[in-house]
């Protein structure tokens, strides 16, 4: 891929670190803000982003332009509106936003200015994972410099539009990845999801219309506005447009993240970019888009990493960063680790999630430690059946937790039975 085909990471990895405002401008930055504020109406920006078919890169995959269209337009400039960048990257196995935040924070700043102009929001907030200390320092430096040279503040480029950005370092809760829980946390309250409606676009932060977008989603905006919707559509290999930050973790030779066309097969990502499995290890199964997606087996490694293809295969694209399970790692132990995380991170708002997930964790702990009973598998199946479907809990946390469990119970039934029969983990001596 040449630079025009990997716009998100073209300025990442420079010898001198992230570009400053001048270097960013010399490399093509700020062109999109100039075009948007000088030549386009907010409605035209929304139309361009909608035509590009940009979908949210945080996991849900909702159309970005469609999401913006729900923000009230009338009367203009008579009410406060907010734009929030969700940088609370706590999905296990996911580190794409960290790459963008540390490598080129000005790209996010420009994307937020464009999004703020489109929805006519005067204030932006970056809700950052608290452990991202380097990203925090680089974001604050980039924002201060952008403000100093006039890219943030009142009357940007003489357009009459003003925009400010504030960085909020999270206290550290996975539930803040849910947009309404994130907004509640920003208001200084316990991070718990809100009932909908009203949706955030109508009544969000402090009751004002608000849009929450993922970091990677926002970083695409300067390139779409500068190059056009048709260009962005041409980057994808299939029905989904643009590029994507894909990644791999697990026992591969080169774990990491790479910007590739939407629809790149997972096999290509694993074998070409991640260098294949390490010597002595064989791919057994994988979670295609983070911990809250369903397992697919090794025979499905040729799946195109795009929304529809992964869903057809039986999972979700999610964040697009795959977690690989090898043949020497215990799948029951892996599931126990995942469900421990989900149980720990439940906000406690609704009973099925608050009480059900710790129960799942205890059952898996018993099976992994050699004290499980055959009927424990029936209880796990019941939890997956009752907690898995959307709408039975207050938010998507419990259904996300059940995705790896339900698929794991199907794919790894022999391993579950062996644990119970042998009263120990069969792989413990070889892992």
Summarised one tens digit per residue, pLDDT across range 81-105 is 999 999 999 999 999 999 999 999 9
Enumerate the CATH 1.20.1440.230 domain ranges in the chain, comma separated.
Answer: 331-422
Hey, what are 393's tokens? Answer: 């809990």
Let me know: does 376 contact 419? Beta carbons within 8 Å: no
- What span, in angstroms and rounded, lies between the C-alpha atoms of 344 and 44? 44
- Pairing state between β 256-261 and 243-249: antiparallel
pLDDT digits (tens, 9 = 90+) for 229-269: 999 999 999 999 999 999 999 999 999 999 999 999 999 99
- pLDDT at residue number 70: 93
- What span, in angstroms and rounded, lies between the C-alpha atoms of 60 and 62? 6
Phi-psi region of 280 (alpha: psi -120 to 50; beta: other; left: phi over 0): left
Let me know: does 222 contact 111? Beta carbons within 8 Å: yes
CATH of domain 331-422: 1.20.1440.230
Q: What is the mean pLDDT of each run of 10 residues along the chain (431 residues)?
A: 76 91 96 97 97 92 93 71 95 94 98 97 95 96 97 96 95 87 94 91 94 97 97 96 97 97 98 97 97 97 97 96 97 97 93 95 96 96 93 91 97 96 81 44
- pLDDT at residue number 195: 87
CATH of domain 246-326: 3.10.20.600
Containing 180, the helix (H) or strand (E) segment is helix 179-186
- What span, in angstroms and rounded, lies between the C-alpha atoms of 40 and 47? 10
Enumerate the CATH 3.10.20.600 domain ranges in the chain, comma separated.
Answer: 246-326
- What span, in angstroms and rounded, lies between the C-alpha atoms of 26 and 3? 14
What is the pTM assigned to this prediction? 0.94
Hey, what are 317's tokens? Answer: 């694209």
- pLDDT at residue number 394: 87
- What span, in angstroms and rounded, lies between the C-alpha atoms of 222 and 228? 10
Enumerate the CATH 3.40.50.11540 domain ranges in the chain, comma separated.
Answer: 3-235
Architecture in CATH for domain 3-235? 3-Layer(aba) Sandwich (3.40)
């Amino acid at each position: 891929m040449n630079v025009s085909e990997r716009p998100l990471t073209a300025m990442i990895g420079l010898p001198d670190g992230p570009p400053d405002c001048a270097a960013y401008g010399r490399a093509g930055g700020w062109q999109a803000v100039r075009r948007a504020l000088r030549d386009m109406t907010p409605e035209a920006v929304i139309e361009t982003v909608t035509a590009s078919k940009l979908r949210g890169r945080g996991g849900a995959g909702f159309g970005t332009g469609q999401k913006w269209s729900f923000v009230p337009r009338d009367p203009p400039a008579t009410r406060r509106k907010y734009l929030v960048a969700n940088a609370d990257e706590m999905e296990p196995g996911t580190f794409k936003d960290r790459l963008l935040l540390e490598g080129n924070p000005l790209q996010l700043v420009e994307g937020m200015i464009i999004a703020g102009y489109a929805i006519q929001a005067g204030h932006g907030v970056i809700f950052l994972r608290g452990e991202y200390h380097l990203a925090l320092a680089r974001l604050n430096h980039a924002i201060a410099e952008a403000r100093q040279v006039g890219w943030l503040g009142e009357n940007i480029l003489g357009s009459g539009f003003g925009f400010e950005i504030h960085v909020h370092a999270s206290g550290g809760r996975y539930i803040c990845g849910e947009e309404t829980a994130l907004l509640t946390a920003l208001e200084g309250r316990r991070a718990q999801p809100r009932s909908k409606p009203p949706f955030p676009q109508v009544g969000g932060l402090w009751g004002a219309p608000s849009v929450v977008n993922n970091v990677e989603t926002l970083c695409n905006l300067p390139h779409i506005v500068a190059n056009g919707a048709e260009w962005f559509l041409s980057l994808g290999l299939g029905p989904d447009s643009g590029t994507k930050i894909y990644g791999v973790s697990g026992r591969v030779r080169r774990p990491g993240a790479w910007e590739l066309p939407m629809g790149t097969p997972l096999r290509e990502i694993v074998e070409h970019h991640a260098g294949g499995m390490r010597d002595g290890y064989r791919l057994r199964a994988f979670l295609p888009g983070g911990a809250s997606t369903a397992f697919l087996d090794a025979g499905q490694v040729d799946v195109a990493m795009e929304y529809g293809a992964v869903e057809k295969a039986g999972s979700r694209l999610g964040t697009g960063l795959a977690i690989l399970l090898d043949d020497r790692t215990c799948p029951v132990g892996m599931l126990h680790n995942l469900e421990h995380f989900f149980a720990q991170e439940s906000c406690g708002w609704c009973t099925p999630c608050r009480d059900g997930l710790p129960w799942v964790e205890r059952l898996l702990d018993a099976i992994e430690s050699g004290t499980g009973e055959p009927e424990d598998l029936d209880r796990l199946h019941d939890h997956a059946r009752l907690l898995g479907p959307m709408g039975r809990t207050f938010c998507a946390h419990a259904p996300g937790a059940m995705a790896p469990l339900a698929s794991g119970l199907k794919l790894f039934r022999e391993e579950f039975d062996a644990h119970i029969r042998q009263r120990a983990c069969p792989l413990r001596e070889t892992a």
